[in-house]
């Protein structure tokens, strides 16, 4: 009698929005995925080739990935906490890390390992595959962050940046905060030229195109949930106002001259 195939390790994925679907696409060949999202019909989850399940079933897996908006994070952590098994590894994939790390550390049982991650890409930038793209990995509780990083490098080809939630959010406030802020302004200025453009302008608009269709929750998380974002915005607008004043002074001097 032929031996039965070795069962794949189980992962519970909670959240099946744009990024949850991206996670599922790349993890489904490697794991037995059990997906829960109260806002997505089970039929739509099954049509994507993964198994829908209840919140309790997803939380009972040895690894649980939270792919939910930061605004719902505290309630989600509260709901899954009673159903997690001792030794479970819980990860998140949100755009900010300080607040989710605090929520998971405070709300999950002490025998649960926690790693906060932020894939520094989205569905648009991952269209050609994951290899070489970056992901931030932040230890929160337990010693499995390096193990997670090793898997991400080996199995998915990602470039892993081991950091802390605080260091992540300080850098992301500029990297993501300014990118999304500038994109919002440029989109509001449309229509912009498309024919007589420079290469640098084309690259700027390419960057805008990569984030223009992000869900509003992503923009709000980046700008409102990052504790360092307001400081970066203030500095940006102060410098922009200073440059505007300097240009005004030059124009006045030119007229007077």
Please give the pLDDT value at position 255: 61
Q: Cβ contacts of residue 256 below 8 Å, gap of 6+?
A: none
Note the CATH number of domain 10-163: 3.40.50.720
119: Cα within 13 Å, side-chain hemisphere: 28
CA distance 24 to 124: 15
In this structure, what token pair is assigned to residue 73?
A: 């994070």
Please give the pLDDT value at position 106: 98
In this structure, what token pair is assigned to residue 212?
A: 């223009």
Residues of the chain with pLDDT below 70 are 1-6, 251-257
199-234 in b/e form (b: 16+ CB < 10 A) is: eeeeebbeebebbeebeebbbebbbebbebbeebbe
Please give the pLDDT value at position 1: 44
Q: Where are the domains of the chain?
A: 10-163, 169-252
pTM over 0.85? The answer is yes
Structure confidence by residue, pLDDT tens digits, 140-152: 999 999 999 999 9
CA distance 18 to 41: 14
Residue with token string 């504790």: 227
Please give the pLDDT value at position 8: 86
Mean pLDDT of the chain: 94
Please give the pLDDT value at position 257: 57
Structure confidence by residue, pLDDT tens digits, 10-19: 999 999 999 9
Please give the pLDDT value at position 249: 75
Please give the pLDDT value at position 124: 87
């Amino acid at each position: 009698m032929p031996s039965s195939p070795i069962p794949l390790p189980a992962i519970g994925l909670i959240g099946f929005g744009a990024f949850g679907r991206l996670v599922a696409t790349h993890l489904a060949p490697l794991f037995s995925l059990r997906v829960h999202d109260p806002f997505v019909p089970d039929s739509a989850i099954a049509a994507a080739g993964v198994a829908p399940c209840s919140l309790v079933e997803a939380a009972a897996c040895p690894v649980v990935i939270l792919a939910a908006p930061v605004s719902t994070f505290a309630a989600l952590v509260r709901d899954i906490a009673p159903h997690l098994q001792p030794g479970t590894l819980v990860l998140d994939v949100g755009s900010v890390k300080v607040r989710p790390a605090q929520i998971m550390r405070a709300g999950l049982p002490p025998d649960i390992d926690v790693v906060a991650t932020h894939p520094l890409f989205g569905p648009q930038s991952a269209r050609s595959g994951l290899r070489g793209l970056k992901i931030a990995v932040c230890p929160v509780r337990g010693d499995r962050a390096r193990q997670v990083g090793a898997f991400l490098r080996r199995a998915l080809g990602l470039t892993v940046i081991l950091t802390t939630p605080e260091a992540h959010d300080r850098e992301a406030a500029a990297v993501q905060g300014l990118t999304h802020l500038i994109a919002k302004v440029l989109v509001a200025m449309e229509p912009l030229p498309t024919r007589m453009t420079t290469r640098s302008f084309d690259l700027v608009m390419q960057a805008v195109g990569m984030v223009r269709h992000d869900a509003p929750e992503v923009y709000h998380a980046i700008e409102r949930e990052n504790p360092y974002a307001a400081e970066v915005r203030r500095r940006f607008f102060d410098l922009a106002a200073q440059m505007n004043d300097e240009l005004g002074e030059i124009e006045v001097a030119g007229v007077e001259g």
